[in-house]
Amino acid sequence: MAILKEINPVKTYLGKLSHNTDLLEELTGFCISHNITLGRIDAVGAVQKARLAYYDQENKTYRFFTINRHLEITSLTGNITIKDGKPIVHVHITLADKKGNAFGGHLAEGTIVFACEVCIQVFQGETFKRGFDRTTGLPLWEMGE
């Protein structure tokens, strides 16, 4: 089943992140300071190193790993909703190295910005709150199902 709710775009932001900052922390910080509790995010740019996670579906736990190289961000997509009463940025990222080989995963803290151009669409409407989902072990949206 697809449980999608109608929401309304109310605002759009475009801009950049400072060099040498933590990619996920900057995105989260911006959403908190601008009171963004529902939205969609995408970005391109480059990182000095990446820290990603892969969700181990069998053991229901994230496996974190670091790619200690300079990489292009070829895509970054995700959303902003609420967890434990605060905005949470959930984004996945695809990266490429100097040979063009691509890598990716769930963006974790520890990914350092070289340059990054970000677009955030802010929505209004249904509240999307993350709560523990027993089937997957993930903090998924509680949508009254």
Binding to a copy of itself, residues 49-108 (CB under 8 A):
52, 54-58, 63, 65, 67, 70, 72-79, 90-106
d(CA 48, CA 40): 24
Task: Determine which residue in the list 9, 86, 109, 127 makes contact with a copy of itself, applying CB under 8 A.
Answer: 9
What is the Cβ-side half-sphere exposure of residue 59, based on CA atoms within 13 angstroms?
6
Residues in the chain: 145
Contact positions with a copy of itself (CB under 8 A) in 112-131:
114-115, 117-120, 123, 126, 128
* Residues from 14 through 43 that contact a copy of itself (CB under 8 A): 14-19, 21, 26-27, 29-30, 38, 40, 42-43
All residues at 6 or more sequence positions from 6 whose CB lies less than 8 Å from its CB, including other chains: 125, 126
